[in-house]
Amino acid sequence: MNLIKKFKAPLLLVLIYLVLAILWPEISGRSAKVAIDYLREMALIIPPVFVLMGLLEVWVPKEKIKKLIGTGSGLKGFFFSFLMGTLPTGPLYIAFPMAGTLLQKGAKVSNVVIFLGAWAAIKIPQLLVEAEFLGLSFTALRFGLTLTAVIVIGFILERLIKAEELPELQAGSNIPGRTFGGSRKSRPLVN
């Protein structure tokens, strides 16, 4: 019963697909094809990303994240967040749990926005495709303007959001015996 409740959104969608299949089989056929292609892509990308997230959670101590991209990390924190985001690592929704973990480990709100913004809009392989189809001047201009916008939005959110308004630790928060890296030798695994 709980399982049905947990998966109510996907189940509802399956129902919609079934109704569509009866009423407009053309649409449902197209939709199913897209959905299956997408599922295949996700099945390849999601497991490694979640394992990386698990490694980050277990190995990288909170103080390290705080020092790297927390309050007072300054320009270094900005560049580090930006670089993490530009790694070619798949669609944006995968970055949300990652960003959540970073926030809970003491990352600055503005740096998390920059991380997400870079992840979404400023990926290097993506820029190459964009330049090929839409031209270099379009791509360069969009890159510059988007980067500016992401930085501004980051600063606005930083001002408006207080720590209490962020969600509580989610992934693996209640794992018994969890210890953070502790040793000074542990390095961040994300770069």
Partner 1 sequence: MTTIIVIYSLLAICLAWSLLKSRQKTKQSFKVAAMALWKMAPGLLAIVGMVGLILGILPPERITQLVGEEAGFLATATAAVLGAVTLIPALISFPLAASLLRSGATVTTIAAFITTLVMVGFVTAPMEIKALGKKFTLLRNGLSFIAALIIAGLMGVILG
Query: Which is closer to partner 1, CB of 57 or CB of 77?
Result: 57
Query: Are 153 and 109 a contacting pair, CB within 8 Å?
Result: no
Query: Which is closer to partner 1, CB of 69 or CB of 116?
Result: 116
Cα(36)–Cα(8) distance, integer angstroms: 19
DSSP three-state, residue 133:
helix
- Burial (0-12, 13-18, 19+ Cβ within 10 Å), 57: buried
Work out how close the CB of 106 gets to partner 1 at its nearest, in angstroms, rounded to a whole number.
15
The enclosing H or E element of 79 equals helix 74-86
Work out how close the CB of 187 gets to partner 1 at its nearest, in angstroms, rounded to a whole number.
8
Work out how close the CB of 48 gets to partner 1 at its nearest, in angstroms, rounded to a whole number.
4
Query: Which is closer to partner 1, CB of 25 or CB of 76?
Result: 25
Quick one: which of 185, 183, 180 has its CA closest to 56?
A: 180
Q: Give me 184's structure tokens.
A: 């000074």
Q: Give me 88's structure tokens.
A: 């070619």
Work out how close the CB of 62 gets to partner 1 at its nearest, in angstroms, rounded to a whole number.
15
